[in-house]
Amino acid sequence: MRIKKGNLQKVTFSIVGFGGRANAYLTALEENYQDRFELIAVAEPDKRKQQRIKQKYGLKDENIFDTDVEFCKQERLSDVVMITTQDRLHYQEVIQLLDKGYDIILEKPIAATLQEVLSLKEISKKYPNQLVAVCHVLRYSPLFMKVKEIIDSGVLGKIITIQHNENIGYYHFVHSYVRGPWRNDQESAPLILAKSCHDLDILLYLTGKHALKIASFGSLSEFNHKNYDEKRMAPTCIDCKMEKECPFSAIKIYSSNKIKSVVFDMSSIDKIRENLGNSNYGRCVYQCDNNVVDHQSTIIEFEDGITATFNISAFTRKINRSFKIMCQYGEIRARERPYLIEVYNFKTETEEKFEIVQPQGGHGGSDRSFIAHFMNAYLGNETFKSTLDDSIEAHVMAFLAEESRINHGIPQDICDKMK
5, pLDDT greater than 70: no
pLDDT tens-digit map of 192-226: 999 999 999 999 999 999 999 999 999 999 999 99
- Distances from the Cα of 388 to the Cα of 128, 178, 182, 373, 410, angstroms: 12, 30, 22, 15, 28
For the chain, what is the radius of gyration of the CA atoms?
Answer: 22
Residues 6+ apart with CB under 8 A from 217: 296, 297, 298, 404, 405, 408, 409
- Phi-psi region at 330: left, alpha or beta (left = phi > 0; alpha = psi -120 to 50): left
pLDDT for 418 equals 85
Nearest to 254 by CA among 270, 233, 234, 235: 270
| CATH code that applies to domain 11-136 | 3.40.50.720
Distance, in Å, from the CA atom of 21 to the CA atom of 43, rounded to the nearest integer, reads 14
pLDDT for 417 equals 87
pLDDT tens-digit map of 286-312: 999 999 999 999 999 999 999 999 999
Angle at 106 between CA 404 and CA 49, to 5 degrees: 115
Angle at 83 between CA 66 and CA 141, to 5 degrees: 140
Beta bridge partners of 80: 13, 103
Indicate the pairing of strand 37-43 with strand 295-302. Answer: unpaired
pLDDT for 275 equals 84
pLDDT for 410 equals 98
Q: Where in the chain is the domain with CATH 3.40.50.720?
A: 11-136
Strands (E), 277-401: 295-302, 307-313, 320-327, 330-335, 340-345, 350-355
Tell me the pLDDT of the chain averaged across its residues.
Answer: 93
Amino acid 186 reads Q
DSSP string covering 56-97, please?
HH---GGGEESSHHHHHHSPP-SSEEEE-S-GGGHHHHHHHH
Distance, in Å, from the CA atom of 248 to the CA atom of 238, rounded to the nearest integer, reads 12
**For range 387-397, the mean pLDDT:** 96
pLDDT for 362 equals 56
pTM over 0.85: yes
pLDDT tens-digit map of 157-170: 999 999 999 999 99
- Distances from the Cα of 312 to the Cα of 28, 218, 219, 302, angstroms: 28, 9, 11, 20
Beta bridge partners of 161: 307, 326
What does DSSP assign to residue 281? G
Distance, in Å, from the CA atom of 399 to the CA atom of 56, rounded to the nearest integer, reads 40
Does residue 66 contact residue 45 with C-beta atoms inside 8 Å? yes
DSSP string covering 199-227, please?
HHHHHHHHH-S-EEEEEEEEE--SSSGGG
pLDDT tens-digit map of 25-65: 999 999 989 899 999 999 999 999 999 999 999 999 999 99
pLDDT tens-digit map of 61-116: 999 999 999 999 999 999 999 999 999 999 999 999 999 999 999 999 999 999 99
Helix (H) or strand (E) holding 27: helix 20-32
Distance, in Å, from the CA atom of 29 to the CA atom of 174, rounded to the nearest integer, reads 31
